């Protein structure tokens, strides 16, 4: 059954004319679906794998809030969905009006509040931040930040040094969903509980996190006119589960970033694939 669904999903993608990524420089002005990867968490069986960018590492952007939540609960800095509540300060980044208020862990994930992430890493401290990142083996584990700027604690995951591939995102999500991360079961469960939730029309419940950032050019410099978008998480229905990662690359810059459009495309694909 899964094989038939996966074949059908690939056929739909082909009919819609979605092009696999062929390199950012080769298609300088063409948005590409770098990867759509859907996997059964227990068996590891691949249900859908589309695009040629599934093994290519990219900045995790706000999808890093998933492992950050695991670190926060494991360390005891975060207590539950609504504790602690941290007040907004004028020196915090406020790219969105919704960030200019007191924030709890659930709101942090829902509104993707960057300053809450940065306050969490500050409280973790550099040693613990690196320790937990190594412990869960997240991507390239590079928290150094931008070269020469010593800003890894604040920006390593924001179009900077930390990178992860869609395949690695799915591997991380499998461990999280299966309770196999080297953290307490309580920390993993609390981290999962605060992710944004959506119900698809087919009855599947999707838990996931968006992410968006700026692409880099061949010199490694930020290209503020080109964006990437992530959507990472898991879905469940009647005891069945899948984990997934969707990555779009090289999109034209747009207000609000590529996270939400990528999420919506992932929902559409999951709606077609899952019964």
Q: What is the pLDDT of residues 106-162, one digit of tens each?
A: 999 999 999 999 999 999 999 999 999 999 999 999 999 999 999 999 999 999 999
To the query of whether residue 62 is one of the catalytic residues in this protein, the response is yes
Q: Residue 256: what pLDDT?
A: 87
Of 133, 233, 239, the residue nearest 193 (C-alpha)? 233
Q: How far apart are CA 10 and CA 48, in angstroms?
A: 8
**Phi, psi for residue 251 in degrees, rounded to 5:** -85, 150
SS3 252: strand
Element (DSSP H or E) covering residue 66: helix 65-75
pLDDT band at 99 (very low <50, low <70, confident <90, very high): very high
The DSSP letter of residue 238 is T
47 burial (CB, 10 Å; 0-12 / 13-18 / 19+) is: middle
pTM comes to: 0.88
CB 128 within 8 A of CB 120: no
Q: Residue 29: what pLDDT?
A: 39
What is the tens place of the pLDDT at every residue in 47-95?
Answer: 999 999 999 999 999 999 999 999 999 999 999 999 999 999 999 999 9
Q: Residue 33: what pLDDT?
A: 80
Q: Is pLDDT of 26 > 50? A: no
Strand pairing report for 205-216 and 222-237 = antiparallel
Of 195, 74, 60, 63, the residue nearest 132 (C-alpha)? 74
Q: How far apart are CA 151 and CA 272, in angstroms?
A: 42
Of 162, 140, 90, 85, the residue nearest 116 (C-alpha)? 85
Taking residue 173's Cβ as centre, other Cβ atoms within 10 Å add up to 24
From 62, 112, 159, 160, the catalytic residue = 62
Query: Quick one: CATH architecture of 2-273?
Result: 3-Layer(aba) Sandwich (3.40)
Share of the chain above pLDDT 70, in %: 89
């Amino acid at each position: 059954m899964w094989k038939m669904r996966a074949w059908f999903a690939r056929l739909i993608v082909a009919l819609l004319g979605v092009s696999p990524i062929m390199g950012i420089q080769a298609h300088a002005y063409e948005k590409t679906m770098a990867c759509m990867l859907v996997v059964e968490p227990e068996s590891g069986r691949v249900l859908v794998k589309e695009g040629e960018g599934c093994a290519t590492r990219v900045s995790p952007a706000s999808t890093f809030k998933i492992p950050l939540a695991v670190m926060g609960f494991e360390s005891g800095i975060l207590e539950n969905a609504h504790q602690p509540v941290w007040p907004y300060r004028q020196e915090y980044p406020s790219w969105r009006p919704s960030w200019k208020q007191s924030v709890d862990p659930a709101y942090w994930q829902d509104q993707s509040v960057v300053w809450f992430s940065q306050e969490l890493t500050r409280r973790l401290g550099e040693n613990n931040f690196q320790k937990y990142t190594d412990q869960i083996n997240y991507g390239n584990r590079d928290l150094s930040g931008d070269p020469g700027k010593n800003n890894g604690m604040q920006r390593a995951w924001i179009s900077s040094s930390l990178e992860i591939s869609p395949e690695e995102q799915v591997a991380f999500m499998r461990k999280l969903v299966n309770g196999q991360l080297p953290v307490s079961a309580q920390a993993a469960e609390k981290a999962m509980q605060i992710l944004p939730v959506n119900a698809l029309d087919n009855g599947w419940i999707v838990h996931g996190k968006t992410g968006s950032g700026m692409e880099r050019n061949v010199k490694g410099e930020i290209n503020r006119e080109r964006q990437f978008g992530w959507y990472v998480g898991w879905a469940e229905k009647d005891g069945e589960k899948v984990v997934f990662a969707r990555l779009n690359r090289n999109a034209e810059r747009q207000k609000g970033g590529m996270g939400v459009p990528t999420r919506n495309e992932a929902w559409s694909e999951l709606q077609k694939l899952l019964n």
